[in-house]
Amino acid sequence: MKVLKIDHLGIAVNNIEEGRKFWGDILGLPFEGEETVEEQKVTTAFFPVGESEVELLESTSPEGAVARYIEKKGEGIQHVAFRVENIEAALAELKEKGVKLIDEKPRIGAGGAKIAFLHPKATKGVLVELCERG
Ligand code: ZN
């Protein structure tokens, strides 16, 4: 598999508007607008920074993964996303290597990217997202 770069850091926040005050207003990162991905019970906001981006994540429901993360650990970095050339091939390779996956098949995330999560148990505690953008 070919990992191209860190695509983005996913940061769990209680409120994107509040988050924008630091990432947008204070750090001065451009704000690219919000997008709600209902299936994943999350609203995202992307802030490009160099070759990568900061992704703020606000849960749309108390049952969402982001809400549960904040309940357990508080606001903060929730996942690291690596851009790969071919996500299907990457998942097949990881599966063959015995890596525990949350998503065996890619789903569609914010911005229409194909995404899949690896299980934190397989990565020493880091929730890793793979993503492929067209
Ligand atoms: Zn992400």
Q: How far is the centre of ligand 1, averaged over its atoms, from the C-alpha of 60 (Å)?
A: 15
What strands lie across the sheet with 52-59, from one edge to the other?
34-37, 42-49, 52-59, 3-12, 76-84, 128-132, 114-118, 107-108
Q: For residue range 78-127, list pLDDT tens digits in order.
A: 999 999 999 999 999 999 999 999 999 999 998 899 999 999 999 999 99
Domain around 57: 3-132
If one counts the domains in the chain, the total is 1
pLDDT, the chain, mean: 96
Q: How far is the centre of ligand 1, averaged over its atoms, from the C-alpha of 26 (Å)?
A: 22
- The CATH number assigned to the domain holding 118 equals 3.10.180.10
Do 40 and 64 contact (CB within 8 A), yes or no?
yes
Residues with CB under 5 A from ligand 1 (ion): 10, 55, 81, 129
Q: How far is the centre of ligand 1, averaged over its atoms, from the C-alpha of 109 (Å)?
A: 8
Q: Record the pTM.
A: 0.93
